[in-house]
């Protein structure tokens, strides 16, 4: 039996860094918006315990791929002798702040939990995934959420319907370089969910990213012509909200050819969870 499930992208509708911890990590506030756009993963059982990735990522060894690491972490946690062949149809640009690798890993945990008949809870799957990547829990839980701490304290939210145009410049941003940068704002004041919904927010990483990666600033200025643009995560992808799909597609059609882009609808519930 084969099982195919989506791995949705996410946006950070804002990202405030409110302090640096003693362990070097940063305390932050952000709002994760799930999208109805993403990768597709197919899982098929094997007669042995091997984890076989059928679609390798360029420049990434299979054993370092988050999908393989998540599958093997699930095997260790449950001591299951079962294996799987895993295929991936990639649509989410890598390293763009859209959570592609984390979402693929989360869908792997959810999919293999079902395929192998493990019956683990969402909390158990979250505990397995969290050490592999800070964004994995949001996708395992499968709901748009307000996040605090290092992104680990999640509160489900119901966000209004919206369409987003996402633009991805052709550059790869180093998250470590951004969070280590001396000019990064680390003292933003904490806000409430209501305050963000009423007044909005910003991405504290964006000024540093635009300074180090001029192509991101160029893309943001282009998108700003049509709607207020912001960066997701540590970039390099940017997004703008539109009232309708048609409005977003009209702007996408004018996109300069050197950038990737897509239109997606914001959703509160992960499309992966809707199929499980």
* 129 lies in the same domain as 177: no
Active-site position among 39, 82, 104, 135: 135
Where in the sequence is the domain holding 227, given as residue range(s)?
163-267
Q: Is residue 274 part of a domain?
A: no
Q: Specify whether 243 is catalytic.
A: no
Predicted confidence band at 157 (pLDDT cuts at 50, 70, 90)?
A: very high
Pinpoint the alpha helices (H) of 116-158.
122-129, 136-141
Give 110-152 pLDDT, tens digit per residue. 999 999 999 999 999 999 999 999 999 999 999 999 999 988 8
Phi and psi based region of residue 156 (left: phi greater than 0; alpha: psi -120 to 50; beta: remaining): beta
Q: What is the pTM of this model?
A: 0.96
d(CA 268, CA 31): 12
Neighbours of 132 (CB within 10 A): 17
pLDDT score of 60: 83
Q: CB neighbours of 95 closer than 8 A, spacing ≥ 6? A: 172, 173, 236
Closest CA to 67 of 79, 56, 78: 56
Confidence at residue 57, expressed as pLDDT on a 0 to 100 scale: 81
Q: Do both 12 and 132 map to the same domain?
A: yes
User: Could you tell me if 144 and 156 are in contact, meaning their C-beta atoms sit under 8 angstroms apart?
Assistant: yes
Please check whether residue 272 lies inside any domain of the structure: no
Active-site residue flag, 152 = no
Could you tell me which of 80, 111, 84 has the C-alpha nearest to residue 272? 111
Q: Are residues 168 and 64 part of one domain?
A: no
* Composition of the chain by helix, strand, coil, percent to 5: 35, 30, 35
């Amino acid at each position: 039996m084969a099982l195919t499930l989506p791995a949705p992208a996410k946006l950070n509708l804002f990202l405030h860094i409110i302090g640096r911890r003693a362990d070097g990590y940063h305390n932050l506030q952000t709002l994760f918006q799930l999208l109805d756009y993403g990768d597709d993963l197919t899982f098929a059982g094997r007669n042995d315990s091997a984890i076989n990735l059928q679609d390798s990522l360029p420049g990434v060894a299979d054993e370092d791929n988050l999908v393989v690491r998540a599958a093997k972490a699930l095997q260790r946690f449950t001591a299951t002798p079962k294996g799987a062949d895993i295929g991936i149809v990639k649509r989410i640009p890598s390293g763009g702040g859209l959570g592609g690798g984390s979402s693929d890993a989360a869908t792997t945990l959810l999919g293999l939990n079902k395929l192998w008949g493990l019956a683990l809870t969402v909390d158990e799957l979250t505990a397995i995934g969290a050490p592999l990547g800070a964004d994995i829990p949001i996708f395992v839980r499968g709901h748009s959420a307000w996040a605090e701490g290092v992104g680990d304290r999640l509160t489900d939210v119901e966000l209004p319907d919206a369409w987003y145009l996402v633009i991805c410049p052709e550059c790869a941003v180093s998250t470590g370089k951004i969070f280590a940068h001396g000019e990064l704002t680390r003292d933003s004041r904490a806000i409430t969910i209501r305050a963000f919904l009423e007044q909005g927010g910003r991405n504290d990483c964006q000024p540093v990213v635009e300074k180090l990666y001029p192509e991101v600033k160029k893309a943001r200025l282009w998108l700003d012509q049509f709607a207020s643009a912001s960066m997701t995560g540590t970039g390099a992808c940017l997004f703008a909200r539109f009232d309708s799909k048609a409005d977003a597609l009209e702007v996408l059609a004018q996109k300069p050819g050197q950038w990737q882009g897509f239109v997606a609808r914001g959703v509160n519930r992960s499309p992966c969870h809707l199929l499980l």
